[in-house]
Structure 1
Amino acid sequence: MHFFEDHSNELIISGILVLIIIVLRIISTKLVRRFAKSSDRIEHRTNLVIKYIHLLINILACIGFIIIWGVRPKDIVLAVSSIATVVGVAMVAQWSILSNITSGVILFFSFPFKIGDTIKILDKDYPIVGEIEDISAFYVILKSTEGEQVIYPNNLLFQKGISIVHNFEEEKEFTD
């Protein structure tokens, strides 16, 4: 019973933080969904961006709880540096995955092309022309003009020039 008496301030502040987390998650979800609806975004991409935002909110909440419950700054620095070291080593090995996820989020908000568009990737070594079949967190699936299915990483879409090919059928006069 002494726990509640000794830590009443921390419990109240933690309760307020939980309410703030819930409100932030609801507001961020509504804002992203409103943005997606107004710009005709794809539902699974919308859900993916919402998950990333919720992850960020949860990380900030953990930091808040650590501060509220009075963990010594020296211990926080030690824990964060240890975690950063492990994550840093893992990210060096997995930098392309993080790069593709980041590119996927940027593609969601900038949305320079959509499913059904025909694009040309301006790569001098391996140029690709294809119709976009799907856009995911890690890659874009294209159907090439030869009928091949090409899976192209999102991060390379930002490194290469891309042009959207418009197939306007012009009426031409037939001559013999």
Structure 2
Amino acid sequence: MNELFTNYQTQVLTTLLALGILIITRFLSSKAIRKVGQISDLNDIRTRLILKYVAIGHGVFMVSALVLIWGVNFREVGLILSSVFAVIGVALFASWSILSNITAGVILFFSFPFKIGDHIRILDKELEGINEFWIEDIRAYHVHLRDPQGELVTYPNNLFLQKAVRLLQPDDADSDGSDAL
């Protein structure tokens, strides 16, 4: 065992340093995300979702660092990774909208232009009839909206960022002249 440590002393110490950096950055980023969620009065479920994304990112970073530290043969790893990425690439291409909705959900979390309970108007010609809603929930892929008739509408996060959305005040009137919702 002592001979093993002597032969790989640099790699073991560098791995421990990388692990320490990972723990510190994960703790600090987690604390910062929770603080942003608390300051902007965001739903705890949204905060936990972003924390999960950051944890996955840290994990990918750590695996990459370990591959570099231990000097894994890139030809062997390249063959495995090219096969894995080919399968993942086909899967992501088939579900590209899911990836864009997740990314839009992260952007909505950090920019927090809207909160749960806000009354909004979506300026979209493709929406039939009513375009005023209350935001009921903001999830990873879509936003739950409630229309004046009480029906639940799910609206994809990427469209929520692409379309113009107006935050309505309680005294704003509906487009047909009736009282605000």
Q: TM-score, normalised by structure 2?
A: 0.86
Partner in structure 1 of residue 177 of structure 2:
none
The gaps in structure 1 that reach 5 residues or longer are 171-176
2: distance between equivalents of 1:169 and 1:73? 61
Partner in structure 1 of residue 148 of structure 2:
145
Q: Which amino acid aligns with 1:27?
A: L
Q: Which amino acid aligns with 2:50?
A: V
The gaps in structure 2 that reach 5 residues or longer are 174-181
Q: Deviations over 1:38-88 (max 9, x none)?
A: 222221111111111121111011011011111123333333322221211
Partner in structure 2 of residue 91 of structure 1:
92
Partner in structure 1 of residue 121 of structure 2:
120
1: distance between equivalents of 2:161 and 2:79? 37
1:66 aligns to 2:67 (yes or no): yes
Q: CA 1:149/1:69 → structure 2, altered by over 3 Å: closer, same or farther?
A: same
Partner in structure 1 of residue 58 of structure 2:
57
Contact between 2:43 and 2:116, CA under 8 Å: does it hold in 1?
no
Matches within 5 A, 1:37-48: 37-48=38-49
Q: TM-score, normalised by structure 1?
A: 0.89
2: distance between equivalents of 1:27 and 1:164? 33
Shift of 1:135: 0.9
C-alpha RMSD of the superposition: 1.7
Q: How many residues align?
A: 170
